[in-house]
């Protein structure tokens, strides 16, 4: 069973343009995410999936220089971008990670992967339904035949723009399993979407660098416990704004 992680990345963010190549403690975000995902046990391959837009040429050039495999696909039909990348890779299990999660925790992500692998009936596993982990540790794992089914059946642009949104809004049609944290950390926001997020993540990254820490969940929680003013910077921002907007429009 070939297990592949596909990191969704593009330069064209409206709220924070070029965010996937911004630096945290001197390291570009895409490199941060890729290096962390590579540490997830049992994965066979990790790739970045970006768009065919000329805006993403700089991201492609960066990945090629760094030896990071990158594939290109549709800018708006992200479901197709994932499906085509998974086909090229001959994936049987696909892990979805977004490049705006520079503190993705390999141990948490592995729990999600194991949940699907160990349960033959599971079609989709996640740690975001319900959300109990910080926003920014999101991991989704889907079987290739399930991804192909969605790709072939769903035409609504809302669902094709957000790869697994159809599953989360139609749970009765899929066998879904969730990894739930014993402690609710959902009020933490460690994703990179706005300038305030970048300020928070930059400060955390600098503390991790000084301490020589990797940045596992508990290490970042300890930093924010010591420095609550850091978390306060983006506390006013909502979790997963784009998806929430879609839900309001349904």
Residue 68 falls inside a structural domain: yes
pLDDT in tens, 21-73: 999 999 999 999 999 999 999 999 999 999 999 999 999 999 999 999 999 99
Residue 229 falls inside a structural domain: no
Structural domain span for residue 179: 3-186
Could you give the number of structural domains in the chain?
A: 1
pLDDT at 14: 84
Residue 200 falls inside a structural domain: no
Residue ranges in the chain whose pLDDT is less than 50: 240-250
pTM of the model: 0.93
pLDDT at 246: 36
Residue 214 falls inside a structural domain: no
Residue 70 falls inside a structural domain: yes
Residue 126 falls inside a structural domain: yes
CATH no. for residue 108? 3.90.550.10
Residue 223 falls inside a structural domain: no
pLDDT at 239: 54
Residue 151 falls inside a structural domain: yes
pLDDT at 242: 42
C-alpha atoms less than 13 angstroms from C-alpha of 163 in its C-beta half-sphere: 31
């Amino acid at each position: 069973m070939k297990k592949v992680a596909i990191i969704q990345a593009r330069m064209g963010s409206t709220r924070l343009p070029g965010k996937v190549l911004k630096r945290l403690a001197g390291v570009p975000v895409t490199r941060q995410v890729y290096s962390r995902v590579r540490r997830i046990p049992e994965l066979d391959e990790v790739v970045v999936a970006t768009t065919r837009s000329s805006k993403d040429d700089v991201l492609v050039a960066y990945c090629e220089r760094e030896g990071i495999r990158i594939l290109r696909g549709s800018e708006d039909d992200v479901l197709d971008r994932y499906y085509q990348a998974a086909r090229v890779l001959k994936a049987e299990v696909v892990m979805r990670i977004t490049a705006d999660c520079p503190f993705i925790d390999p141990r948490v992500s592995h729990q999600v992967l194991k949940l699907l692998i160990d349960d033959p009936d599971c079609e989709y596993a996640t740690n975001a339904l319900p959300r109990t982990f910080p926003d920014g540790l999101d991991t989704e794992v889907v079987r290739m035949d399930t991804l192909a089914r969605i790709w072939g059946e769903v035409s609504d642009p809302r669902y094709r723009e957000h790869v697994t949104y159809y599953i989360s809004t139609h749970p009765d049609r899929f066998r879904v399993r969730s990894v739930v944290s014993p402690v609710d950390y959902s009020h933490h926001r460690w994703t990179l979407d706005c300038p305030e997020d970048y300020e928070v993540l930059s400060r955390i990254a600098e503390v991790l660098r000084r301490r020589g820490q990797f940045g596992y969940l508990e290490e970042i929680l300890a930093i924010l416990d010591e420095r609550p003013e850091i978390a306060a910077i983006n506390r006013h921002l909502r979790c997963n704004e784009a998806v929430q907007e879609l839900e309001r429009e349904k």
